[in-house]
Amino acid sequence: MDIIKSIIIGIVEGITEWLPISSTGHMILINEFMGISDTDFFSSQIFLYVIQLGAILAIATLYFKKLNPFAPSKTASEKNDTWQMWFKVIVACLPAAVLGLLFNDAMDAISTPLVVSATLIIYGICFLFIEKKKKTASISDLNNLTYKTAFYIGLFQVLSIIPGTSRSGSTILGAMLLGTSRSVAAEFSFFLAIPVMFGVSFLKIITNEYIMTANEWMLLIVAMVVAYVVSLISVKFLMNYVRRHDFKSFGIYRIVLGIVVIAHFLIFK
């Protein structure tokens, strides 16, 4: 049963980490349905944060050439564009590095079903509103993203420390508000995740005093591998989807999920 739980959680992580639908909201429901308590290894921070490394590796795999400034097949100009892209990612990560560390513990303390439900619904409404008002994007190529815009997107990313917001959701919304196309918003959100998620996972590992057993290590590795494979599929799906559709369906989904979470805890708690 523990192996099955690891696989299910890995699947949920691989889907919800990249789609703007909040991994936290889904994890709350999954924990409820599988009977995982707050003291269970599957709900521990060391487990939930470290399995994200599998999801990050999927981005590195899919975008290896685009992310690699040393690729021999690239021209000098292309290598320069890659370096510029990484510098923009670093600039965008600065707000999260500072404010995220300051408020991380406070946000963990308010990670309740009510807060998660509220943010799911609020951001769902925001997606619907922004898509209704969205005009033609002024930034349709990642290379045209300025450092100033990258920094502002990073400020939106800070909002993701509020439980239920969704890191990809907040960055995609912010990028679209700042004039990027849907595909640029999604892609830049993926790249921002690499230092942010790796940094958070590494921080949890070095600061966590929990000593895992051999069985727990196995469960963690299984979840990471599953998250990696599912992330490959999820990212490809999202990029193909946003080239032909808008984000309204994700907004509706968030609102419905928020209502489901509220209803579940009002009825069964």
Report residue 36 as tokens.
Answer: 């995982």
Residues 6+ apart with CB under 8 A from 268: 32
* pTM, 2 dp: 0.89
Give the whole-angstrom CA distance, residue 7 versus residue 61.
21
Instruction: Report pLDDT digits (tens) over 40-89.
Output: 888 787 888 889 889 999 999 999 999 999 999 999 999 999 999 999 99
Report residue 111 as tokens.
Answer: 């990670």
SS3 151: helix
Instruction: Report pLDDT digits (tens) over 216-254.
Output: 889 999 999 999 999 999 999 999 999 888 999 999 999
**Around Cβ 67, how many Cβ atoms within 10 Å?**
18
Residue 106: pLDDT over 70? no
Residue 190: pLDDT over 80? yes
Least confident of 89-93, 100-104, 262-266: 100-104
Angle at 173 between CA 98 and CA 256, to 5 degrees: 115
